[in-house]
Structure 1
Amino acid sequence: MRGDDLRDRLVRALGQDSEPSSDFDLNANALLPAQRALTGAGVLVAVDPRRRSIVLTKRAATLSQHPGQIAFPGGKIDPGDTDAIDAALREAGEEIGLPRDAAEVLGTLPAHETVTGYTITPVLALITRPFAPVAEPGEVAEIFDVPFDHVVDPARYMVMTRLWRGTERRYYAVPYGPFYIWGATARILRGLAHRFSK
């Protein structure tokens, strides 16, 4: 599939209607706080059409939240950000060294609520030119590519369980080589896979 064909299919996928997702999708009995306060965040789902891949990071093991987990570049919306797209592009520059002018934003996927109190807006973008990835010290342990065809294949996803705060929690996972992609990252990618496979 050529880069322009991939772009066209991604744009078509963005045009499909779907509901927001959450870490609670597979946990119908989860009790959500009635007056929970959610923090807005933006992550960049950066597709490289030349390599037919998506850029992901492994978070540093020393971080207080989600240490060592696989994640999209991104983070919370800061006061200086205009919106989630601005936050995702800023964070991608900081975390992986992706210049803003090397990313063409195609649109956003439905928001995803995490068990840690964030509402994440996934920003789908194409990497328009080669760049030299640089991991942000103390934040990012590793930057890697996962093949696009791997994460848009619904058959690659599995439902796993683990204990979280004394309760069994079910979640999606889509392992790739040594990287265990799970939780919010896997759920967002599964949403993209569902749209892309239609």
Structure 2
Amino acid sequence: MVRTWGKRVVCAAIATTGVVCAMAAPAGADLAAPPGLDFARALGTPNLPGIYGPDTAVVVLGYGLTPEGTMREELVRRLRAGLAQAVFAPLSPIIVTGGNPQAGLSEADAMADWLLAAGIDESRIIREPEADSTVANARNTAAMLAERGLHSVVLVTSEDHMARARGAFADAGVHVVGDLTPDRAQWDSVPLHIGRFGPGPTA
């Protein structure tokens, strides 16, 4: 079981960089490299997500929805970066924070729905649907961390928002151990769906 789970984590993690995880091909098979991927370059980038344990939460900050309650492209880009980080840290809970509801839907609920559709297990997702600013994102997240005994976070937001977000979370007493932005990661190949992954049945 441990070996199977380990393989699933590795496959899922590799999938976020665009590599197809497949069974070994028969000897003599004509193998072609997956299209659109420079795996060596992906491994060499300093912008790979970090590997963290269950005491560190991945925190994805919201971005204003359209009046119809749909997500703007920048929020989808943040979620893709958050998905990559979630795969590399499969034991970390994921906090989606953002209020400002449109058409009856908060940013947090829209983000959670996207993550569920992408294959993240619902038990990992913590919704914070009240924040109406970066300061509120930080303050409300700090309260959730304290309630759950979590000790640190990895922030996921846009590059031009990161400095302000880090400052707000520091002011709220949150220990930020890392961050990831879609601007630095530039992983347009991160899939919209990675399949279900996470610890499977022990039997």
TM-score with structure 1 setting the length: 0.26
Higher percent of residues as strand: 1
Computing the radius of gyration over CA atoms, which structure comes out larger, 1 or 2?
Answer: 2
Q: Which structure: greater helix fraction? A: 2
